[in-house]
Structure 1
Amino acid sequence: MTGRLNLMIPHDGSVVVCDGRKALVLRNEGHPRALDLRMERVFEAPPNPPTREQGTDRPPRVRLGNRRSSIEQTDWHRMAETRFALDVVTALDRIDPLLALVVVAPPRMLAELRRVLPERLRRAIVAEVDKDLTKHPVEEIGRHLADA
């Protein structure tokens, strides 16, 4: 994110702060110029053990004629993040009415959320912020967004 966005989150607007393991759904109970974010819901992804416990450490091999080649190893953690993004989006899609939505996530998760967002949620988005704020208290998230 570069520069100031003049981010305006309307009263009763929603904010989702998400990374690959945790998502916070917040609602602005204040004014667009004086945010008062309140926690609505918290999502935690299920445990995601190391790759060595989920599959083989060695990439599989394939024979192409007289040549052998390896196949890219499955990224189990990325697959878990994709499933988590879909779970978060499914929950967001149940918010009714959804006046406005601000999405705050690190770049990789932001891209994953964009990929799975239905049209109704896309239309509600007023801003996207590429930061990881999931470990911050709600008041600090509000300050980051007010300064955005």
Structure 2
Amino acid sequence: MTPLRLHHDAWIVVCDAAKALFLRNAGDVRLPDLRVIERMDAADHRRTSEEGSDRPGLLQNRSAPTSAIEQTDWHRQEKDAFAAQVAGRLDLLHRQDRGSPIILVAPPRILGALRRALAPAASASVAGEIARDLTKHPVHEIEHLLTAE
């Protein structure tokens, strides 16, 4: 992982499918000092058997045999919905404080969902992306992992 330049007042969003940390650099590029501004948690996930119907349906075609319909991935939908909530909150924070660069840190699938859900203005301020899950690390370790050479 290449080290990032964390400018003063940069937003760093570290998230996965269940938790998001909104961090702010209170330091500067040489000596970053990440502070937790806000934390978001996703609603508890229910079991798949509690989520949907009993089994996937069938589609009757006119000129071909019957086709199976893929079962809905309810957990995937919940993850995408949480990523959209995180992006919405980040959009609001960005509107209140224009000009601050944004660093996104998330697993690849969540990172893609964040990218799709961000407003154009906030998306233009994204200065870096790291496709990695760092939500289980303490803040001082996140700081070190992002800036270590």
Q: Distance in 1 between matches of 2:26 and 2:49?
A: 45
Q: Distance in 1 between matches of 2:79 and 2:14?
A: 14
Where structure 1 has 5 or more consecutive residues not aligned to the other structure, the ranges are none
**Aligned residue for 1:75?**
73
Paired residues for 1:14-25 under 5 Å: 14-25=11-22
Asked if 1:127 corresponds to 2:125, the answer is no
Where structure 2 has 5 or more consecutive residues not aligned to the other structure, the ranges are none
Q: CA RMSD in A?
A: 1.3
The TM-score, its normalising length taken from structure 2, stands at: 0.92
The TM-score, its normalising length taken from structure 1, stands at: 0.92
* Partner deviation per Cα, 1:33-74 (whole Å, 9 max, x = no partner): 211000001110011111111012421111113621110110
Q: Distance in 2 between matches of 1:90 and 1:41?
A: 14
* Partner deviation per Cα, 1:58-100 (whole Å, 9 max, x = no partner): 2111111362111011010111011111111111111121411
Q: Distance in 2 between matches of 1:89 and 1:107?
A: 15
* Runs of 4+ off more than 3 Å: none
**Is the contact made by 1:51 and 1:57 (CA closer than 8 Å) also made in structure 2?**
no
Percent identical: 42
